[in-house]
Amino acid sequence: MKTITLLFISLMFIIGCDVEDETNDPANIYYNLAFQGIQTGVLYQQHHIVRNQTHLSSLLATSELMGPEPATDFNSNMFIVVFSASNPCNTTTVSSVYELSGSIKVNINISTAGSEVCLPVIGGTYMFIELEQATKPVSVNFEFE
């Protein structure tokens, strides 16, 4: 009986020890807020992971950006494009970009305008967040204040 108990405990110890276990500590990722402004072609809050020129061209054909046309070297970089259907008087910022458990997490903060008068725009704001090319999944979280 002692042999079976010892074997069971040894087996549980070996199964429970995974030397390649990923850490759950978030690691900040360097990013560049490359382009931002007002757009009139996208009516709903959404995000796109743009890893090549074909996807960027398709996105630009429908988004109607009011600003310079974004460009990057897709051999080394990619864009996370965020469209928010918020009032252009609201403040939209990137609060963090980090890696956690093998995926990239992006937090976007949208602060509502105070008592200022603001003309409505059909569409909203856009942000092109540029970072190093990666194949990891990306999730975007919108935080409203």
Mean pLDDT score of the chain: 82
Is residue 124 a part of any domain in this protein? Answer: yes
What's the sign of the alpha-carbon dihedral 34, 114, 121, 83?
Answer: positive
Does the pTM exceed 0.85? no
φ, ψ dihedrals at 55, nearest 5°: -65, -40
Residue 71 lies in a domain: yes
In a domain, 4, yes or no: no
Residue 18 maps to a domain: no
pLDDT of residue 30: 96
* 85 located within any domain: yes
What digits encode the pLDDT tens for the residues 60-82?
A: 988 889 888 899 999 999 999 99
**Model confidence band, residue 39 (pLDDT cutoffs 50, 70, 90):** confident
What distance in Å separates the CA atoms of residue 23 and residue 7, rounded to the nearest whole number?
Answer: 29
- Structural domain range at position 46: 23-144
pLDDT of residue 37: 87
In a domain, 69, yes or no: yes
Work out how many domains the chain is built from and give that number.
1
